[in-house]
C-alpha cells in the first residue's frame, strides 16, 4: 500500500505541474517556450530559497523530472561553484546537468533514427 501512495504523490505533483502549464497555454498568450522558462525559473527560485528539497522529499520524481528539476540542479551547481569563483559558478551548473543533457540528446537522436517525423497538420 505504501508504494501506491508514493505513486499517487508523484503523479499528483507532476500532474499539477502539467495542469498549470496547460492552463497557461489555454488562458494566456504565452508560448510554450516562455512557459518552460517560467517553470525553469520556478525551480531555480524554489532551490534558491531552500524549498525545493522539501517538495522533492514529498513528491520525488513528480517535481524533479519536469523542467523545474533542471532549474534546481542547475542552481545547485552554480551555488557550489560560486564558493570557488565566478567562472566556476557558471561551469559547475552545467557540469551538474551534463549527464541529463547527454541522455536527452542521445535518446532524442536515437528516436529520430527509429521513428519517422512529420509535420503537424492543421
Show the low-confidence residues of the chain (pLDDT under 70): 120, 122
pLDDT for 107 = 92
pLDDT for 80 = 85
pLDDT for 106 = 93
CA 16 to chain centre: 14
pLDDT for 20 = 92
Say which residues have a Cβ less than 8 Å from residue 13's Cβ, sequence separation at least 6.
Answer: 55, 58, 59, 62, 63
pTM beyond 0.85, yes or no: no
pLDDT for 122 = 58
CB half-sphere exposure, 7, CA atoms < 13 A: 4
Amino acid at each position: 500500500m505504501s508504494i501506491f501512495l508514493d505513486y499517487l504523490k508523484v503523479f499528483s505533483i507532476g500532474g499539477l505541474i502539467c495542469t498549470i502549464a496547460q492552463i497557461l497555454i489555454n488562458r494566456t498568450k504565452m508560448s510554450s517556450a516562455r512557459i518552460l522558462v517560467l517553470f525553469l525559473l520556478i525551480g531555480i527560485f524554489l532551490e534558491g530559497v531552500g524549498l525545493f528539497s522539501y517538495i522533492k522529499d514529498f513528491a520525488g520524481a513528480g517535481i524533479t523530472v519536469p523542467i523545474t528539476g533542471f532549474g534546481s540542479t542547475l542552481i545547485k551547481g552554480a551555488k557550489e561553484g560560486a564558493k570557488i569563483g565566478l567562472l566556476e559558478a557558471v561551469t559547475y551548473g552545467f557540469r551538474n546537468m551534463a549527464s541529463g543533457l547527454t541522455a536527452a540528446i542521445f535518446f532524442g537522436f536515437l528516436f529520430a533514427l527509429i521513428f519517422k517525423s512529420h509535420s503537424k497538420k492543421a
